[in-house]
Amino acid sequence: MKYISLTVLFCATCFLAPAQEKNRLDSLRKNRRTAIDTVIMEDVNTGEKRKVRILIPGKDEGVITIEKSEKTYEYAPDDEPCGKASHTEDDTESTRKSRPIYGVTFSRIDLGLVKLIDNGSFTLSDDNRDFRYRPGKTVNFGFDLLQAGYRFNDNFRIFLSGGFDWTYIRLRENIDFQENTTPLTWAYSDVDYDKNRLTSTYLRLPLTFEFRSRSYSGLGRLRFAFGPEGGFLLKGTQRFKSEELGKQKFKDDYNFTQFRYGAFARFGVGPFGIYGKYYFNDLFENSPNQAGLQNFTFGLMLGF
> pLDDT tens digits for 201-254?
999 999 999 999 998 988 899 999 999 999 999 999 999 999 999 999 999 999
End-to-end CA distance of the chain: 86
- Greatest alpha-carbon pair distance for the chain in Å reads 128
Q: Which domain-ending residue is among 73, 90, 107? A: 90
Judge if 128 and 252 occupy the same domain: yes
With respect to residue 289, please indicate whether it lies within any of the assigned structural domains: yes
> Looking at the predicted structure, is the pLDDT value of residue 13 above 60?
no
Judge if 77 and 104 occupy the same domain: no
With respect to residue 12, please indicate whether it lies within any of the assigned structural domains: no
With respect to residue 204, please indicate whether it lies within any of the assigned structural domains: yes
Please tell me whether the peptide bond between 77 and the residue prior to it is cis, using omega within 30 degrees of 0.
no
Radius of gyration of the chain (CA): 35
Domain with 143 in it: what CATH number? 2.40.160
Report how far apart, in Å, the C-alpha atoms of 90 and of each of 33, 177, 267, 298, 300 are.
Answer: 21, 63, 29, 40, 36
What is the mean pLDDT of the segment spanning 244-272?
A: 96
Q: Which domain-ending residue is among 64, 90, 116? A: 90
Judge if 82 and 116 occupy the same domain: no
**The domain containing residue 76 runs over which residues?**
29-90
Judge if 43 and 112 occupy the same domain: no
Which amino acid is present at 211? F
Number of folded domains that form the chain: 2
With respect to residue 19, please indicate whether it lies within any of the assigned structural domains: no
What is the mean pLDDT of the segment spanning 59-78?
A: 48
The answer to whether 58 and 68 have CB atoms below 8 angstroms apart is no
Residue 135 neighbours by CB under 8 Å, 6+ apart: 113, 115
With respect to residue 3, please indicate whether it lies within any of the assigned structural domains: no
What is the mean pLDDT of the segment spanning 74-79?
A: 41
The answer to whether 281 and 257 have CB atoms below 8 angstroms apart is yes
pLDDT higher at 260 or 82: 260
Using CA atoms, how far apart are residues 205 and 253, in angstroms rounded to an integer? 20
Using CA atoms, how far apart are residues 76 and 57, in angstroms rounded to an integer? 10
Q: Which domain-ending residue is among 72, 90, 108? A: 90
With respect to residue 15, please indicate whether it lies within any of the assigned structural domains: no
With respect to residue 20, please indicate whether it lies within any of the assigned structural domains: no
Mean pLDDT score across all residues of the chain? 81
Residue 229 neighbours by CB under 8 Å, 6+ apart: 204, 205, 206, 207, 261, 262, 263, 264, 277
Judge if 51 and 147 occupy the same domain: no
Highest mean pLDDT among 40-49, 211-220, 281-290: 281-290
Judge if 81 and 215 occupy the same domain: no
User: Among 6-15, 158-167, 191-200, 249-258, where is mean pLDDT lowest?
Assistant: 6-15
Dihedral angle of Cα 125, 127, 130, 136, to the nearest 10 degrees: -30
The answer to whether 258 and 282 have CB atoms below 8 angstroms apart is no
Using CA atoms, how far apart are residues 302 and 299, in angstroms rounded to an integer? 10
Judge if 58 and 111 occupy the same domain: no
Judge if 244 and 112 occupy the same domain: yes
The answer to whether 238 and 198 have CB atoms below 8 angstroms apart is yes
> Looking at the predicted structure, is the pLDDT value of residue 45 above 80?
no
The answer to whether 208 and 159 have CB atoms below 8 angstroms apart is yes
Judge if 152 and 269 occupy the same domain: yes
> Looking at the predicted structure, is the pLDDT value of residue 138 above 70?
yes
Judge if 84 and 121 occupy the same domain: no
Judge if 129 and 257 occupy the same domain: yes
pLDDT higher at 87 or 223: 223
Residue 116 neighbours by CB under 8 Å, 6+ apart: 122, 124, 128, 131, 133, 169, 283, 293, 294, 295, 296
Judge if 138 and 66 occupy the same domain: no
With respect to residue 174, please indicate whether it lies within any of the assigned structural domains: yes
> Looking at the predicted structure, is the pLDDT value of residue 287 above 60?
yes
